Structure 1
Amino acid sequence: MTATASRTTNRRPELLAPAGGPEPFAAALAAGADAIYCGMGSFNARRKATNFTDEAFEQACRAAHLAGSRVYVTVNIVIKQSEMGDALQLIHRCSTLGADAFIIQDWGLFFEVKRTMPGIETHISTQANIHDDRGTIWCREQGADRVTLSRELSIDEIAAIHNAAPDVDLEVFSHGAICFCYSGLCLLSSFAMAGRSANRGMCAQPCRLPYELIDENGRSLSPAGRERALCPRDTNTSQLVRRLYDAGAASLKLEGRMKAPDYVYSIVDVYRHEIDDMLAGATVAKDEEAARQRQLKRCFNRDFTHAYQDGTSGDEMMSYERSNNRGQIVGTVLGSRLANRDVRGLKPDDRRRRAAIARIELFEPVGKGDLLELRHDNEFDQFLTTIAADDAAAGDIIECRVPRSMPEGCRVRVIRSQRAIDAAGAALKRDVLRRRSVD
């Protein structure tokens, strides 16, 4: 049966948002998340995130429950025998503070939770690498309430698992960073950075670094433009929501527990609209869809892919040339002039280093306060950033003051959207609409 087959239930898909601390949590709630996952203590895969204190977590759970949303706690690392008691105490404590479910990787911890706290709702983490119907059915038989599938599965493979186990809640990663390895089960960080185990929440992201392939004679075999041979792009399935839902995805999970509130608000907002429009059977105008994709591109991204969902894994999913934020390309530099034309006595190189005014032709709109990156393909490491002084439309030519002249043909990107920051800030000041009556 193909992925286009209709689901056997009419349940609305859950939009599951990330939160690395109280502010991203509030942003996710304000943007309309149905559920939010976050970390407590040190037994989670994002130990470097701000995470929560007991008091902040209890307040966050109360706010979520009043808004009709759920809260999941990630306990998604392997647990040492000496840590088992502390991990169980953490789960018990979070449950009493208001957590609705726990996302677990370690099977020993899972079975201890089922034995000692049978009423706790348990979700199997993607890092358990459940990738077929046999594993999914086995998880159900052990008492798991949900299975988060491996990120590498195609939509057709998700549909096949759903058809074999239609009574299992399937959660799928739908947006954000993906690992070079299977389901985050990586040992490279442990090998490259002693003590920085990805399976213990301390990934150093060595897959994002440049590498050089050397033969036995010391000659470089690395192809030009492929310095970061292990760096994937970020997943974006915002235009595949209907297909994922029809395939059986009960929960669409957005990655980003290390991200800022404006990032969380922006991506949750887009997926909220996509899901609501799908359920309403609404046709989205081209201009509106373009605006949503623009909103996603102006969040942190390494360029986008949905190769795994399509069943491929080639060059189309890799970000070989850079691993940092690409933003959105919005224009090109037409040329530069010196801000101060008095260059008498200066050498040619020094003249270029003087403050300049860059003329930029836009083919996408920019907003006042947007952070722009100027970078030329022939001088890839000689980039700089500047702030857009005013709002401007596609087709406009704008001028920006820059620390030095930039050559004609530089690509111009928006790498931080002031509009997104303002929207998230405004949302955090509004009261979240209560969906649950209080007695």
Structure 2
Amino acid sequence: MGQYCLDARVRFGLRHRPGRHAQKSNWCQMKPKQLILLIVLCVLVGALGLYVRNQQQGVFKQSALKMGQKLLGDFDPNSVAQLRITAGSNVLGILKTNDTWVVPQRDNYPANFGSVSDLVQKLWKLKITEPIKVGPSRLGALTLVPPGKDGGGTLVELLGTSGQVIRTLLVGKEHTHSSGESSPFGGGDWPDGRYVMVGNDPKTAALVNDTLSNLEPKPAEWLNKDFFKVEKARSVAVAFPVATNSWKLSRETESGEWKLAEAKPGEQLDTSKASGVANPLNSPNFADLSIGAKPEQLGLDKPTVVTIDTFDNFAYTIRMGQKTNDNFPLSMTVAAQLPKERTPGKDEKPEDKDKLDKEFKEKQKKLEEKLNQEKSYEKWVYLVSTWTVDPLLKERSQLLAEKKEEPKKEEPKQKPAPPATTQAPKKEEPKKEEKPPSSAQAKPPSP
């Protein structure tokens, strides 16, 4: 064999050169332990790559859900008697009692029927825009984990009259649409949908084309914000704890000029300053209710009292406490003396009687409904914004015209005295010496 190899080298013109012989492979020199370690390392790297690949592809695989079908299936929206919304540690309950939705956390104050009804109808009609298959390990990326956990979503529960669960929906993060253009003013992306999941089943995860942005578990945002409304004020009186700050304005007709009652000498109403009182509380609003606080905690034990009488014979009494966080606590009562019969006019014609009687009855019916509705607000203490009541909280001195100081009469100016001139002292002339009379002059004349 050695001879064959030598002949072959000669035959093909090959020469033996130093270092020309092939080196033995490192594989031949590798120890068994090193080989095993290398194989294990290759297996681990492959497994890690497969895991990462599965994680990257595990979010947006199509599921068995069908696009366009109802997300919550078929259920009777009229059977829903309770709503429960949970986000983090905050829980909001809304309950239907005697055909009226109320907020138990606000002492059963009426809820906004439109907001509640719209939500139930929206969930009933909500359809799947895109089915999403997501593994349990990737639910947090879409905020589709129960509230209270890291990456938790908002849980919405529809319940029946006895508290049984009708449907449960977990609402995750918003889906945003990118315009693909950057703007120097920011923006460019806007929410156009939401990731949701029915119950706790990842197989029901889907994308819907509604952002469901009104699912905040804040009781104040679900209250019915309708409130009393003062119309056609005839007189407004404000009694402050400090009596000298109190005042009362009144007018004879609806378009008449406001006048300051019991004006003291020198007091004159500034009509521009009183303009804010011209239509007091004609469209008030409130931010929230105060629940469980004692009157002395709110300053309602020593309140500022506002009394308003109207041309429709309504009488309002409003009590306001101390300002807290830009809101005033407010309670109110209302009464009305509504006439039962119409007083005929002086020049009323008989043929107009039936028409006027009908108009009177219709008006009185509306006023009675208004009275009954506004009396329902007497049970609670409201938190109203500063701008709502600021015009009524002006003190007496702030409504008065500024006193103009009479200009002082100018006294006639005295002419300045001419400057004193210094005269040089007169030189005394030397006295002339008297000459003694002569002897002839000295003799007296002869008789």
With the shorter chain as reference, the TM-score category is under 0.3
Structure 2 length as normaliser, TM-score?
Answer: 0.18
Whose Rg is larger? 2
Higher RCO structure (Cα 8 Å, ≥6 apart):
1
Q: Which structure has the highest helix share of the two?
A: 1
Structure 1 length as normaliser, TM-score?
Answer: 0.18
